[in-house]
Structure 1
């Protein structure tokens, strides 16, 4: 989709370190822990823009539970659209107050999955219900040329399974590695791609990565499991996702309302095996993937082996994922957001860019 040339799209970014290299579409940088920075941002937004979109995640903004974002929400003079990336089933009192304030101040609210609407309706006043919409997480455009992607990555002789994202103990990677033991899978490669999460690095260094590497050695899986310790560029990420046969998402807990990595994998047309966390249950219905029980190594092993051995079943799940993913490319998602904004009070001139913000946020995803 070509954006209307009269629509100006800018980003107000949030910086933790003050040293990040933001793209030229960034209008202003908020320093996460400086309250005055939020006041400056609010002034710029009110003076220069017709709409504000807040991409909300508790860990992005400053103050306890990211409470500094309320300084913007409370002082906006233009329509606000809030996109909730995390909706908690049992929030703390302050987390609930922040969510409720954003609901109240927003003219429109977006959840990335139907489960999010269910949780919001359970916890908050029904007067907000009409303003809450589901818009799926956007994904890049993929060319689906798996053979070429494998060749470029020197994986043309391999069956490729992949997990990507920032590494931490909440990812369940130990279960994924253990599921590959005691089974013959000639030519199989499991790529674990991503840097250690900055918060994990600050508190425990690389201890979790070292534990995973030791587990690989103990199980004798050195020929199957490959760690790629780097941030992928957007193009590199598309290449790896296009090349992979199975995408594995082994989160060990249910309360995950949105996963950009899972959305990207479905968009790439990978056959997905995932534990049944909230977003996975929504996204993988209608045979778009396989749900494997939490912390059940034997079941995960059986599902991997089943897709490895059955070309027909693998192709079917890849087809179902691709068919859905093609509907959620950035262009379609952006069009949906523009239509939603056009239903609010003022004509569209500019907004915070959903596509670029989420692409940036994926590299930091917990």
Structure 2
């Protein structure tokens, strides 16, 4: 009875959570993820709104929203230690760390380790990427984060199993919570296409911060093959170049793609939308797409917000077999094709375009699965986890 009263007491009171992450208006997938997550959690936990410790690039003067309480200079170790001291004296119940390699300074983000070692509040770490080899440089960081966290969150059961088997993580310290998606209505493309004057086109697309590991060149080759059968096919490459890639390489990759478009003579079949799009724009662009295609080149890609959103919108998705796509598109929820295989992408598009019932079955199965990934569902899982930690554990880190 005492335990029940304690659980109910924790559930009744607000939970004060500080999130350590990149954050809007920074143009970064983790920043967008954290904004969407905290928006959803705030609706369920309205009397202790999310507080943000925003990881900021040096010399980048961004106008962060009011919920940002501290800016961490990602390259300065002293900034991390000051942030940890702020948190330790804040009275926060939980610290939620959104971890991605390269986000926390140095080569792989090594500055995060002294930060977590200095924390005196319970830490929950969301691992957006996990290195397969625990003895690699990245693996050492992951191992230490798991050790210092009350619980680590991953987005796939396969990643959870790898952490247990290869990193020897305790099973009760690894929790799977899927990548969130907006709760979008299941809708045909007709209205969206009419709005953009695309009613007569077969439309393919993807939405990314553009980098070389996205494998867009293989989709361009597929478009050249599809165009032989459907001359009006149109492929949208949506999103600006990733700011980090832009800093070090400029627009080299985008220019190489434009050159390839000309070489393949598909200028009328490809459009580049070089901008960072809002959520409303993303929904409109997903709406016009008959097929959402990802051709990522990294087999260990452990998450993709854009693919999650496409599944949540009930899109017919075709993807290379990186581990996130394999899990999300399994059981007939999408089509998996080999890496770097333009012919297989083209064949899948043509086959499904000519077999509408088959395509519709994939879309409906994807949409149904996407209901489990809505931000409201994900937020509830996060809050339940936070409550469990507050009920079960002291504030002493490992």
Same fold by TM-score, threshold 0.5 exceeded? Answer: yes
Partner of 2:14: none
The structure 2 residue matched to 1:273, chosen from 302, 310, 318, is: 318
Q: Residues 60-115 of structure 1: CA distance to partner in whole angstroms, max 9, x if unpaired? A: 10133211111221121111111101101135643222211111111111111112
Alignment of 1:277-292 (within 5 A): 277-292=322-337
Q: Are 1:14 and 2:55 counterparts?
A: yes
Report how many aligned residue pairs link the two structures. Answer: 346
Equivalent residue of 2:284, what SS? helix
Shift of 1:137: 0.2
Partner of 2:131: 88
Q: Are 1:101 and 2:141 counterparts?
A: no
Q: Contact between 2:234 and 2:271, CA under 8 Å: does it hold in 1? A: yes
Q: Residues 139-186 of structure 1: CA distance to partner in whole angstroms, max 9, x if unpaired? A: 112233433322333323322211111112111111100012243214
The structure 2 residue matched to 1:74, chosen from 111, 114, 117, is: 117
Shift of 1:116: 1.1
CA distance, structure 2, for counterparts of residue 325 and residue 233 of structure 1 = 20
Alignment of 1:42-53 (within 5 A): 42-48=84-90, 49-53=92-96
Shift of 1:119: 2.1
Q: Contact between 1:50 and 1:346, CA under 8 Å: does it hold in 2? A: no
Q: Are 1:33 and 2:75 counterparts?
A: yes
Uncovered stretches (5+) of structure 2, i.e. residues with no partner: 1-39, 393-398
CA distance, structure 1, for counterparts of residue 145 and residue 299 of structure 2 = 24
Q: TM-score, normalised by structure 2?
A: 0.83
Q: TM-score, normalised by structure 1?
A: 0.90
Uncovered stretches (5+) of structure 1, i.e. residues with no partner: 348-366
CA distance, structure 2, for counterparts of residue 291 and residue 84 of structure 1 = 24
CA distance, structure 1, for counterparts of residue 296 and residue 107 of structure 2 = 25
Q: Contact between 2:93 and 2:390, CA under 8 Å: does it hold in 1? A: no
Partner of 1:350: none
Alignment of 1:313-352 (within 5 A): 313-345=358-390
Q: 1:253 to 1:101 in 2, by over 3 A?
A: closer
Q: Residues 203-227 of structure 1: CA distance to partner in whole angstroms, max 9, x if unpaired? A: 3321221111111112121121111
